[in-house]
């Protein structure tokens, strides 16, 4: 028997997709039955009251949560997000409903033993409900009370050998794609650099001193499986310098239907015979490809590494051999005032241990942003406010053609006088001598 009537939430279960409402009801039932005989450390009816307060919010069309507070674990400025219900008498099971972020490992590789261990802690000391995963990549444990926080932290660090993730004005848990561990498109080892930088920047992760949040994301190739370009302040995206490798025999095999395009990813529908011109050549955004009926040609100097041709014919086309990454800065995807994509800062860096080149860029940016950034200003906003040229100055990166974002509308880079040989002054008399008429 449900504790609260939830007619509005029940509507969400009637659609074709699995519903979180059904999941919460299942957890509510599970906790009441308590088949494992747990001595629950937070109210047993926490999931029931969660449904109740959500129903009330749907009815009132406003939230009944209060966010933020001093809750956390000793010495850490992030990892726990305080949440309280503003109707604690009505919904005592969610009077405290704090979120705990658990740092994800590089590539999000988990063993089932680890996941069961996390859930053993969370069933006992929390609501049993999770969000796998949050936007930053952390495992998000939803709903516990203040007295449980240090207990959970102790178990996570001592039993599970893991740590809290980032929140607040600090470095958020770095995220990466699977990279070379699973993917032939990866241009560098995303897992290695993500793990190394997570370890190197523990102080930035746990003790906030930035104007606002700061996210790293590492994409192994421009397919951008972790959406670094769109979602991270500091985006590292794999790329290559040389030519796309073409196996012409395999191109012919694709044309003959011996290989399935996109490795069969869209094979649930009959799209007809594979048409290399319509599906690959004409889809090239820079029109740098041609197919003469026997041979595929690519003008690599005009290739923007969109990955489309490689994605369609992975058995025939491969990324180049001189691989590394591009570094871009300033993406954000806020709820308010609009998203912003990253701007290209370094067209190509070699990504090799100990990653000193990348770390030098990161630390120069942090020093500048910590000094110049306003409170609650993302680095992308600081960059827009103080100019991209200023960013180049603080990172010591020279202006280059790749920095021109929209050459047709604005092809200019504004140099300072000291950056131009001879400065602004010139001998006008000598100029007129050379241009008499």
Smallest CA-to-CA distance from 72 within 157, 131, 144 is with 144
Contact 227, 244 (CB under 8 A): no
Read off the tokens for 319.
């990324």
How far apart CA 128 and CA 32 sit, in angstroms, is: 12
Residue 361: CB minimum distance to other proteins, A: 17
The b/e string for 76-107 (b: 16+ C-beta within 10 A; e otherwise) is bbbbbbbbbbebeeebebbbbbbbbbbbbbbb
Considering only residues 128-157, where is the footprint of other proteins by CB under 8 A? 146
Instruction: Report d(CA 83, CA 102) in Å as an integer.
Output: 17
Residue 27 or 163: the one with the smaller Cβ distance to other proteins is 163
Strands (E), 257-333: 289-291, 296-298, 317-318, 323-329
Q: Does 126 bind other proteins (CB under 8 A)?
A: no
The whole-angstrom separation of Cα 30 and Cα 53 is 20
- Considering only 32, 66, 245, 266, the residue that binds other proteins (CB under 8 A) is 66
Least distance from C-beta 83 to other proteins, angstroms? Answer: 8
Neighbour tally for 202: CB within 10 Å: 11
Q: Is 75 near other proteins (CB under 8 A)?
A: yes
Per CB under 8 A, 370 contacts other proteins: yes
Is residue 88 close enough to count as binding other proteins by CB under 8 A? yes
380 binds other proteins, rule: CB under 8 A:
no
Q: Which is nearer to other proteins, 27 or 381 (CB)?
A: 381
Using alpha carbons, select from 286, 368, 356 the residue that is nearest to residue 329. Answer: 368
Choices 186-194, 239-247, 371-379, 396-404; region in contact with other proteins by CB under 8 A: 371-379
List, as own/partner pairs, every contact residues 354-359 make where C-beta atoms lie below 8 angstroms and the sequence separation is at least 24, other chains included: 354/196, 355/193, 355/196, 355/197, 358/193, 358/197, 358/236, 358/327, 359/197, 359/200
Q: What 3-state class would DSSP assign to 437? A: coil
347 binds other proteins (CB under 8 A): no
Kindly tell me which residue out of 78, 93, 143, 330 binds other proteins, with binding defined by CB under 8 A: 78
**Does 167 sit near other proteins (CB under 8 A)?**
yes
Separation of CA 47 from chain center: 29
Cα torsion 178, 402, 361, 394 to 10°: value is -160
170 lies in the binding site for other proteins (CB under 8 A): yes
Which part of the chain contacts other proteins (CB under 8 A), choosing from 115-123, 188-196, 343-351, 369-377?
369-377
- How many residues of this chain bind other proteins (CB under 8 A)? 38
For residues 132 and 122, give the distance between their C-alpha atoms in angstroms, rounded to a whole number. Answer: 14
By beta-carbon proximity to other proteins, the closer residue of 83 and 250 is 83
Rounded distance, CA 237 to CA 38, Å?
Answer: 46
Q: Enumerate residues 238-267 that contact other proteins by CB under 8 A.
A: none
Output 98 or 180, the one with its CB closest to other proteins: 98
Among 68, 257, 267, 423, the residue binding other proteins under the rule CB under 8 A is 68
- Minimum Å distance from CB 307 to other proteins? 33
* Contact map string, positions 96 to 125, toward other proteins, x by CB under 8 A: x--x--------------------------
By CB under 8 A, tell whether 23 contacts other proteins.
Answer: no
Work out whether 70 is an interface residue with other proteins (CB under 8 A). Answer: yes
List residues near other proteins by CB under 8 A.
66-72, 75-78, 80-82, 84, 88, 95-96, 99, 146, 167-170, 203, 207-213, 367, 370-371, 374-376
């Amino acid at each position: 028997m449900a504790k609260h009537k939830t007619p509005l939430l029940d509507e969400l279960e009637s659609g074709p997709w699995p519903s979180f409402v059904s999941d919460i009801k299942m957890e509510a039932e599970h906790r009441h039955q308590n088949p494992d005989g747990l001595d629950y450390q937070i109210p047993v009816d926490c999931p029931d009251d969660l449904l109740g307060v959500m129903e009330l919010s749907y009815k009132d069309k406003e939230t009944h949560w209060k966010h933020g507070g001093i809750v956390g674990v000793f010495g850490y400025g992030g990892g726990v997000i305080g949440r309280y219900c503003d109707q604690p008498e009505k919904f005592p099971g969610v009077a405290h409903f704090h979120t705990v972020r658990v740092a994800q490992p590089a590539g999000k590789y988990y063993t089932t033993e680890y996941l069961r261990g996390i859930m053993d802690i969370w069933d006992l000391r929390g609501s049993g409900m999770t969000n796998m995963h949050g936007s930053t990549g952390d495992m998000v444990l939803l709903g516990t009370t203040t007295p449980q926080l240090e207990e959970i932290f102790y178990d996570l660090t001592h039993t599970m050998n893991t740590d809290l993730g980032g929140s607040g004005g600090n470095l958020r848990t770095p995220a990466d794609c699977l990279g070379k561990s699973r993917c032939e498109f990866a241009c560098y080892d995303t897992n290695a650099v993500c793990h190394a930088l997570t370890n190197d920047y523990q102080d930035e992760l746990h003790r906030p001193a930035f104007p606002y949040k700061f996210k790293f994301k590492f994409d192994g190739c421009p397919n951008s499986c972790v959406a670094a370009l769109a979602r991270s302040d500091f985006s590292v995206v794999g790329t290559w310098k040389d030519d796309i490798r073409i196996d012409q025999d395999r191109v012919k095999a694709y044309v003959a239907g011996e290989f399935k395009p996109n490795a069969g990813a869209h094979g649930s529908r009959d799209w007809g015979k594979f048409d290399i011109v319509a599906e690959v050549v004409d889809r090239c955004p820079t029109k740098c490809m041609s197919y003469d009926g026997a041979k595929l040609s690519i003008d690599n100097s005009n290739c923007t590494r969109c990955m489309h041709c490689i994605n369609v014919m992975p058995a025939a086309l491969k990324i180049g051999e001189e691989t590394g990454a591009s570094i871009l800065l300033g993406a954000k995807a806020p709820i308010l005032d609009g998203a912003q994509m990253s701007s290209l800062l370094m067209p190509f860096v070699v990504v090799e241990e100990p990653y000193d080149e990348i770390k030098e860029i990161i630390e120069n940016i942090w020093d500048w942003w910590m000094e110049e950034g306003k409170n609650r200003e993302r680095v992308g906003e600081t960059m827009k406010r103080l100019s991209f040229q200023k960013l180049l100055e603080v990172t010591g990166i020279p202006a280059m053609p790749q920095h021109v974002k929209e050459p047709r509308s604005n092809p200019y880079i504004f140099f300072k006088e000291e950056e131009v040989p001879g400065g602004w002054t010139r001998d006008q008399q000598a100029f007129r001598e050379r241009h008499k008429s």
